[in-house]
Chain A
Amino acid sequence: MASISMTVNGREVSGDAEDRTLLVEFLRNNLGLTGTHVGCDTSQCGACVVHVDGEAVKSCTMLAAQAAGSAVTTIEGLAAGGELHPVQKAFHENHGLQCGFCTPGMIMAATDMIRRHGASLDEKTVREELEGNICRCTGYHNIVKSILAAANEMGGAQQAAE
């Protein structure tokens, strides 16, 4: 057992966990943040995607100890002041989910993608970049549509601010 400390969604947290504890378990079991899902548990499906120090990673294949001292953002950390994040809003408006199981990972992958590509994100790039996120209900059409809508809104907002 070791005490593991990190910043999660802007809050300093710590918890006692065995060295073998995976980041996703630490988030779900120690911190009660169950929005991050475990799907395949073999780093293929992407339901467990979170951001560590600003980069999207698969938290089922990272030890909590590896993320100690880092800043982690989960799906719970996106909405601010009771307002959905633009990517969450776009998934809602474009029917980008059915059962919702893959959605937290899809949204965390999407926010990372939009951060890197901005408003220049096109459909081909979105589809390529979604190769590590698997959805078993909608078929990716509305997910791609949601991400493009969010990229457009966020990129447009960014340009207006500049």
Chain B
Amino acid sequence: MIPGSFDYHRPRTLNEAVGLLADHAGDAFILAGGHSLIPMMKLRMATPEHLIDIQDIGELTGINVAGGTIEIGAAVTQAALISSAALADACPILRETSLQIADPQIRNVGTIGGNVANGDPGNDMPAVMQALDAEYLLHGGGGERTVKARDFYEAAYFTARDESEILTSIRIPVPAQGHGYSYQKQKRKIGDYATAAAAVILSVSNGNCTAASIALTNVADTPLWAQAASDALVGTDLGAAAVTAAVDAARAITDPASDGRGPSEYRTHVAGIMVKRAIEAAHERAA
């Protein structure tokens, strides 16, 4: 399959890229790794007239952990996330999640920015970003603004990003020292999108859960931050009753489609199992 026709641009600076977006308002798409966009263009689900390839914009490729904040450039690949020692130390759920996305060749090209910004509810990183309370930096003609991951997703492929804006980086507050974490993903086959998946970050002190954050992948039109489920864990010993309460609260907010990954009821059921496994794994890892 061959994509429809378009004009290819490869700007060297962010300002140049923003200028190109403004010049071709509504008809231009950002091309990062292209591993979501090019397949969509082959299927004519996306028909941009202009593609703006950001690979030469150096300021989009750094990983920086400093002052309690992790900053990851939008063009950082999944492979770079996996091999970053700084991230493995400060926020290991990112590596655990990246390793569950697609396959090694795709991870060499696919970027974190594309994964969080394109709005596909099947993508894994958006829920992780919601669990971590990350924020996204958006750069447009009018300057820069930030949007929280928990506020970014509006519907499948619709986000708070204006079509004149570029996602430039992701900021994540460094999770508490000794936190527990887990990303549990049920998929039909290797490389597939989730039937359902859950991200859990939690802290434990003297046997009691002091903080918890749970988010869900691919069980609604958008990723879901499960606030009630998170709250159900805080102040408990993370015993069976607390886990069941969190699982029930998480299942209550899902609204998955019935599709090739299974009927809606099944996917809701699986979401609960993923939440349970992720809580248990995170609990075990918490120091």
Contacts and interface: CB of A to CB of B under 8 A. Distances in A.
| Interface residue range, chain A | 20 to 34
A41 interface: yes
B102 A62 contact: no
Contact of B10 (A20, A62, A65): A65
A132 B104 contact: yes
A120 interface: no
A49 B103 CA distance: 12
A96 interface: no
A89 B98 CA distance: 33
A104 interface: no
A66 B104 contact: no
Interface stretch (A5-13, A50-58, A79-87, A146-154): A50-58
Nearest to A4: B8
Q: Which of B7, B10, B53, B109 has the most CB of A within 10 A?
A: B109
Contacts, number: 81
Contacts of A2: 8
Interface stretch (B19-27, B34-42, B58-66, B262-270): B34-42
A20 B190 contact: no
Consensus secondary structure, chain B interface: loop
B34 A66 contact: yes
B118 interface: no
Contacts of B7: 19
Contact of A63 (B1, B38, B108, B191): B38
Interface of B: 1-8, 10, 31, 34-35, 38-39, 41-42, 51, 53, 55, 79, 102-106, 108-109, 190-191
Given A2-B8, A20-B3, 16 more contacts: A22-B38, A43-B39, A43-B105, A58-B106, A61-B38, A61-B106, A61-B109, A62-B109, A63-B8, A63-B53, A65-B10, A66-B34, A66-B55, A109-B104, A131-B103, A131-B191
